[in-house]
Structure 1
Amino acid sequence: MTDIDTDFETIRIETPGNYVGHLVLDRPEDMNTVSATMLEELDEAVDVLEDHEGVRAIYITGEGEKAFSAGADVSSNGAMDNREGVEHSRYGQRVFGKFRESDLPVIAGIDGYALGGGLELSMCADLRVASESSEMGLPEHNLGLLPGWGGTQRLQRLIGESAAKYVVFTAERIPAERMHELGFVHEVYDDDEFEEQGLEFAANVAGGPPIAQKYTKRAMREGWDNMEAGLELEASAFGHLLDTEDLSEGITAFVTDQEPEFEGK
């Protein structure tokens, strides 16, 4: 396992192989809360991972067993007036949104608490896996606030309006199995197997056809609010993929009952 050479203070990036770029939220002493510095470093990290030729998928986890991220670090973000609060919300929305906008598949591995801003970050992943003892929630209403880094919009698009309102209005910590039932979490693993199985899940996604995955994310993203635009991009992408070596590799592997080895060509 090697690290990508960076000067990050609150996160680190590892490349464990299998085309996975492992982004670790690295403030375990503060339950990996999202500080102003972490926001800036996450902003940069997306670009670093997208530019790394050995990375085909991003896997986000939190250091330690207590939390993926327990939310925003209020102390480091400091007191803000109204205007600063608006801009802080917009910046967090944009930074987290970069993971959703990325052409790379993004997987969030939730072990422990994913609360507030931590849960909002995981909403921008394409897929989410969790350990069985994990708990998730948006506690902002208990503070007299509302989720400000995309939670009011993104969660309802993932699990539906009614279920999202339940999560927001109750401000409760919801077990991983319940979030799995709601469709937010895709796989729940035993606590003692989470580290291995979560990374294996990410590696399986990273081993998929890179060009097809890129076009799939673009088509689904474009069709989020405009299905006709998404369908048009889907048709265009389908045609472009017919000329790829990956398609030939996939067909050959299917016919011979072998595992395909996609090269992104």
Structure 2
Amino acid sequence: MTDVAESEKTRAKDWFEGLRDRICAAFEALETAQDTGPFADLPPGRFDRRETRRVGAAADEEAGGGVMAVMRGGRVFEKVGVNVSTVFGILAPEARRSLTARKEIPGLDADPRFWASGISLVAHLRSPLTPAVHMNTRMFWTPAGWWFGGGADLNPMIEDPADTTHFHAGLRAACDAHDPAYYSRFKAWADDYFLIRHWNEPRGVGGVFYDDLCTGDWEADFAFTRDIGAAFLPAYAPLVERHMRRPWTEAQREIQLVKRGRYAEFNLVYDRGTQFGLRTGHNPEAVLMSLPPVAKWP
């Protein structure tokens, strides 16, 4: 596996930060556009940005951090977070075990240095008719090599087949531009990964998910990861626009709250990013940003 230069790490970091800025601007524009319908009397939501820091394994260890951008109580978005972090240092033994349980990483015990940068987004909407969504792309490096990962998945409270079709079409186009086998492969991976196994039910209607991607061509893998991130807004924003002014019922809100409970269960029990973030000492508020603001369990 070929190593990467510091300049390539910087390019990845800069891409994730630029993507965050475009998404935050688009979501704030949707808040302003919601001038009729439910919650239109509220001021448009805005993102609050705060720096986060990772706590290193040793007191003098450089560890990195990021910026947590969160909007709460908006007209359209009840809670949405778009976090970017770039963390590095020494992987603690527990974090090393969590990685090597998934794949062999040669030499990690002998040289446990790492570097990781990525964007993570989770949106919980006011309307139970508008689907929640998750998107994440990232780059991970150790002295043994580098990997990209991420994807996006749609989590409707009440499924609309037209929404599902539109979302998947955008992701398929991004995949097909790089490899005609990617979409079917990464869609199946998403269906398996986002299964809430103790309920034997999917978290949503899927999307694409990939992990540990290294074809040996860093530029090609980075380009694919960029295109998955760039596909997100065209795949998702029209769904918000389609539903955000529609009225809903208390019965539909009840369905939404129970679905959010399932979402929280998945993220706390199964999600790899949540586990890795907590095991490597990252800010727990940023790691747990994905949890919904209000949820119910039957």
Question: What is the TM-score when the length of structure 1 is the normalising length?
Answer: 0.33
Which of the two has greater strand per residue?
2
Q: Which has the higher contact order (CA 8 A, sep 6+)?
A: 2
